[in-house]
Amino acid sequence: RWGFVRLTGLAPAARIAVQLCDRTGSLAGPPPTVIGESPLLITLDDRGRVQVRPSKSLAQHPFLSDPDAHEWLRGVEASAVEIDLREHEHINSLTVAWLLHLNQACAPVPVNLVRVSRQAITQLTQLRLNHLMAISAA
């Protein structure tokens, strides 16, 4: 029978990242602040890119009001961070704020928005986010 792995002495941002990826509560210390299913699917590809796919319900999820929603990426060592927005036809102000916080937390690692709908590209371009991160169409 397999046991749980217990991680101790993690930097705060690393703790948040592990808690987001593993909701089993196996970390030493208090449980994560957000309980329930994560609104993010997070993967790491062969080229060292962190790929984040937010669920369609991200904008309504209480997770967005938690600083952990973007702090988990602070200090990430990756070639890039890709946010896959294929499930988001429109982008609301909460999602825009989350994207801006993610971009800031990831610096100097580039953030790329991929599989973005035409309408969302228009919105993000009007808000000039295309000057902060690369945006590519669906």
Residue range 45-104, pLDDT digits in tens:
888 888 999 988 888 888 788 877 878 888 888 899 999 999 999 999 999 999 999 999
Fill in the DSSP letter of residue 129. G
Q: Where are the alpha helices (DSSP H) in the chain?
A: 12-21, 68-71, 93-106, 118-126
Spatial contact of 70 and 105, defined as CB atoms under 8 Å apart:
yes
Q: What is the pTM of this model?
A: 0.73
C-alpha to C-alpha distance for 19 and 8, rounded to whole angstroms: 12
Domain locations along the chain: 38-137
Span 38-137 CATH architecture: 2-Layer Sandwich (3.30)
List pLDDT tens digits, range 11-37. Answer: 676 666 666 665 544 444 544 444 456
